[in-house]
Each structure stands twice: as C-alpha cells, then as structure tokens.
Amino acid sequence: MKIFLFLFVTLLATCHGDVVSHEHGSTNKIFPLRIKTGPGGHYIPEVSCSSWRLGVETHNVINWKTVPLECETYVGNYMLGDQYRADSKTVNREGYYYAKTLNISGDGKDIWVFDIDETSLSNLPYYAKHGFGVNPYNDTSFNEWVDLGKAPALPESQKLYKKLLSLGVKIVFLTGRPLKQTDITAKNLKLAGYHTWEKLILKDLSIYHGKTAVTYKSSERKKLEKEGYRIIGNVGDQWSDILGTNTGDRTFKLPDPIYYIA
C-alpha cells in the first residue's frame, strides 16, 4: 500500500511539473512566466476551468464577456505557461503540413490570411499586467498598449509565416484594429519580425461601425477573392476570424481563452 501511495504521489508531482514547467534557457519567450500558487506553494488547475476553456475553444461556450472569476488564475497560468505554446505549435504545424501538400501556382495569387492580435502578435505583456479577462475590457488602456507598438510575435505563428513565404505563399494580415492604427501596426509587425506581406487590412469604422467581426472579415475576404486572390489558408484566435463567408480552403483556430469577439 505504501509503495502504491508513493508511486501515485510521484505521478501527481510529475504531472504537476508538466503543467507549469518553464523553458529553461529559451530566448524565444512571449512573456516571462509568473506562476500563481495556492496554499503550500502548489498550483492545482481547476477541473471546471479546464472544461470551460475546452468549451470556449470548441465554440460551445459563446457570447461570454469575461473570464469567470474563479478561472482567472487558471487562464493566466495557461497563457503564460508551456501548454499555450504547445497548443499554438500544434495548430501552426498542421497549417504548414497542409500547405506543403498544395501546388502553389507561383502567380502571386495564393494567399494565407493571418489575424493579428493573439495570432501574429501577442498581447500577453498587456494582459499579464492588467489581468486575464476577469475585469471588463478597457478600450483606452488596450489602445495605449497598441500605440506603443511593442507587442512581440507569437513565435509559432511566425514560424508558419516564414515557412509559407518560403513556399511562395503571399501573406495578408486582416485585423479588427481600426484604420487609425495602420502605421503603428505596420511598424510593430516589422519590429516583431514580419517584414513582408501582400496586404495589411484594418477596419474602416465608417463602413463597419456596429457590424460584427464575422461580417467585417467576410466582406474583406470577399473583396480579396474578387481581386483574383485565392485564400488557401486562414488562421486566427477567434472563431469570428474563420466563420462567415469566403473563409478560404482551410481554416485554423489558435487557442485564446482571454476574450471573445463575435
């Protein structure tokens, strides 16, 4: 019995270490890992919060405004830990595997649509400071962060971006950021290592004010196809990035349990 208990405790400790492990020696971090611990210094993920996050990612939990209060620590540890990076890697790796099977025409009309926030660029430094979605979204403070132009690249998405370019695929960035942030967004993308793109599309509020993200992005993708572009791939962190019309030949959903955009 004692041997069994020892093995069981050892197994739990090993699993616990996997949940919050840090990439020692890595220089390719999105944001320094800050683990929040409970009594005795141990972090125990809430089972209900794991289920809530699964519901979010599968689009079963929709139209939510903020992360449940009891899940803030769980979401923060997920976003700042290894699992978020691993999940992002899996999605982007599948994107590359898919792209490799395609016959790229070489006429410059094969494009891959990338969302920006929490897809190409990461706002984890902002959320680590202001909290992971429990408090209502603050438009002023977030735009102040965007205007700094210091958001780092989401490393796994950037790897996909570079591999797609090497295959001859053109990149289109399609974001819900307003037109007035065009210059700082372009500057931030280049600073983060995204040096080449076919188009950078931001939201014209004179046209899309009051419209959903699905409506806006569907309309802009339709314009691209009318211009003769072929959307062979489409990646974003929100379901609204990949739903609607003219979504492309294949879509890829990155994890994001911080916020929901309809």
Among 141, 147, 164, 131, CA closest to 248: 164
Predicted confidence band of residue 47 (pLDDT cuts 50, 70, 90): low
- What is each CA distance from 121 to 93, 158, 250, in whole angstroms? 17, 9, 21
Query: What pTM was computed for the model?
Result: 0.84
pLDDT at res. 25: 46
Share of the chain above pLDDT 70, in %: 82
Please report where in the chains the tokens 């020892």 appear, as a residue: 6
pLDDT at res. 135: 75
| Six token digits for residue 10 | 């050892």
What is the average per-residue pLDDT within 215-233?
Answer: 98
In a domain, 95, yes or no: yes
In a domain, 5, yes or no: no
55 pLDDT more than 60: yes
- Taking residue 76's Cβ as centre, other Cβ atoms within 10 Å add up to 22
In a domain, 3, yes or no: no
> Roughly how many angstroms between the first and final C-alpha of the chain, as a whole number?
53
1 pLDDT more than 50: no
Three-state SS string over the chain comes to CHHHHHHHHHHHHHHHHHHHCCCCCCCCCCCCCCCCCCHHHCCCCCHHHHHHHHHHHCCCCCCCCCCCHHHHHHHHHHHHCHHHHHHHHHHHHHHHHHHHCCCCCCCCCEEEEECCECCCECCHHHHHHHCCCCCCCCHHHHHHHHHHCCCCECHHHHHHHHHHHHHCCEEEEEEEEEHHHHHHHHHHHHHHCCCCCCEEEEECHHHHCCCCHHHHHHHHHHHHHHCCCEEEEEEECCHHHHCCCCCCCCEEECCCCCCCCC
In a domain, 218, yes or no: yes
pLDDT averaged over the chain? 87
pLDDT at res. 2: 43
In a domain, 204, yes or no: yes
- Taking residue 237's Cβ as centre, other Cβ atoms within 10 Å add up to 27
In whole angstroms, what is the distance from residue 244 CA to residue 236 CA?
13
pLDDT at res. 108: 95
What is the average per-residue pLDDT within 37-43?
Answer: 48
CATH number of the domain that residue 233 is part of: 3.40.50.1000
Number of domains within the chain: 1
- Which residues fall within 8 angstroms of residue 98, CB to CB, at 6 or more apart? 233, 250
What is the average per-residue pLDDT within 168-197?
Answer: 98
In a domain, 62, yes or no: no
What is the average per-residue pLDDT within 171-191?
Answer: 98
In a domain, 68, yes or no: no
12 pLDDT more than 80: no
What is the average per-residue pLDDT within 21-30?
Answer: 53
Chain CA centroid to CA 205, Å: 23
Q: Which residue has the higher pLDDT, 227 or 29?
A: 227
Q: Which of 43-52, 109-118, 231-240 has the lowest mean pLDDT?
A: 43-52
The pLDDT tens digits of the residues spanning 134-166 come to 776 788 999 999 999 999 999 999 999 999 999
Amino acid in the structure at residue 189? L
pLDDT at res. 39: 46
Predicted confidence band of residue 30 (pLDDT cuts 50, 70, 90): confident
In a domain, 4, yes or no: no
Share of the chain above pLDDT 90, in %: 78
Q: Which domain holds residue 184?
A: 91-253
What is the average per-residue pLDDT within 183-192?
Answer: 98
What is the average per-residue pLDDT within 32-59?
Answer: 71
